[in-house]
Amino acid sequence: MDEGIIRLANALDTEDMIGFTRAFVEDFKTGRNCVNRELLPWIEDIDKGWTGVLCLGMGGSAAGGDFLATLCDHKGAVPVRCHRGYDIPSWWTPDWLVISTSYSGNTEETLSSTVQAMDMGATVVVIASGGELAGLSELSEKVHLISCPSGQPPRSAFGHIFSRQLSVLVEIGILQTEISNHALARLQDAIDDCDIIAHPEGDVASLALNMMENPIAIVGPDELMPAINRFKNQLNENSSRFARTSVFPELNHNETVAWGGVGDDQDPESSNQALVVMSWDGIHPRVMKRMDWFVSNCPSQHAWKMHGDGDTLLESLLHLCIMMDWLSIALGLLHGKDPSAIEPIISLKKYLSDMS
């Protein structure tokens, strides 16, 4: 295994997904440092009492909106909603700030919903590396652009994207949650510790090897759903693997029955699942008891706990993302897949372009 994963990476990682994963903390620092009132004086114009924030985006560009929504539910001043699709929600009004994110700047669903919001009088913060979305800032004084570097898969640009989204909300007082330099140093340590090339016989590479042959299920408390969902998406794209997700305590009211494991109820489907249980230090004590019961009664023979270390929910979420990004890359390599390759998505985009 020690030489095997390195050989696979050299042969398959054609776009350096490993390098992008190693750069997450530096990307985050760069993004955080470029969002301030000296560099972006228009922040003064949007620093007012918003009813809420609507985040528009798709795929990897939308993931940050999920994180913002959870962080604001946890300790925010107003609600944040993440919306994926062509049309603006019918309930939206211009007293909700819009953050519109497309790494390429050409995501057609995001462009469509953003233009609709503009037509309805929205104040929009665009986060993009270029494209048509970035150009909207030249059409209206109510559309403001925060640029980010181009040239990599959107899902690998999470540090660039999310740092800018987060910093906007911190600058205008909607979120007090900032991440300290000490926390970023700990996250960098996590990147180094999980590096499957530096540690080819480490926990991440070994876990990937053990998950190769089984269906994957990812569960955890509701506040970790952004990391759970992002892990599913990373498995889809980096590894070409399906994954099912669920959260506590909701799954205790339905999915628990399907898992079985109590009395004579032994479902072979659930016993074959590769189960990843995510946790962090801030879990509600009653939810923790529910998770403990589930784990002790779960019939799966393949279960692992992944703990998000950190002093805050934000740091814990990012720590989980780092571990899961490395795991999805390792699984992709073991399956003989280039972790950057997304041929079906490219084919669909060409089909839609030809049909327009």
pLDDT for residue 267 is more than 70:
no
- Preceding peptide of 249 cis, ω within 30°: yes
pLDDT given for residue 73 in this prediction: 97
State the pLDDT confidence band at 355, using cuts at 50, 70 and 90: confident
Percent above pLDDT 70 for the chain: 98
Residue 316 in 3-state DSSP?
helix
pLDDT at 230: 98
Residue 177: pLDDT band (50, 70, 90) is: confident
What distance lies between CA 297 and its chain's CA centroid?
30
pLDDT at 268: 65
* Residues 6 or more apart whose Cβ sits within 8 Å of residue 289: none
Segment 292-314 mean pLDDT: 94
Q: Please name each of the domains of the chain with its CATH number.
A: 4-9+193-334 (3.40.50.10490), 17-178 (3.40.50.10490)
Confidence of residue 261 (pLDDT cuts 50, 70, 90): confident
CA distance 270 to 273: 5
The rounded distance, in Å, linking the Cα atoms of 327 and 350 is 30
Q: Give the pLDDT confidence score for residue 76 in this predicted structure.
A: 96
Positive or negative: CA dihedral 81, 86, 90, 94 = positive
Give the mean pLDDT of 323-349. 95
Encode pLDDT of 112-121 as tens digits: 999 999 999 9
- pTM score over 0.85: yes
pLDDT digits (tens, 9 = 90+) for 17-68: 999 999 999 999 999 999 999 999 999 999 999 999 999 999 999 999 999 9
Cβ neighbours for 297, distance < 8 A, ≥ 6 positions apart: 259, 261, 262
Q: Which of 57, 65, 69 has the alpha carbon at shortest distance from 105? A: 57
Burial of 125 per CB tally in 10 Å (0-12, 13-18, 19+): buried
Q: How far apart are CA 231 and CA 158, in angstroms?
A: 12
Q: In the chain, how many H helices and how many E strands? A: 16, 9
pLDDT for res 104: 96
Instruction: Please report which confidence band the pLDDT of residue 271 belongs to, taking 50, 70 and 90 as the band edges.
Output: confident
Predicted confidence at residue 263, as pLDDT, reads 64
Tens digits of per-residue pLDDT, 284-294?
Answer: 999 999 999 99
The reported pLDDT for the residue numbered 353 is 86
Q: What pLDDT, on a 0 to 100 scale, did the predictor assign at position 196? A: 97
> What average pLDDT does the chain have?
95
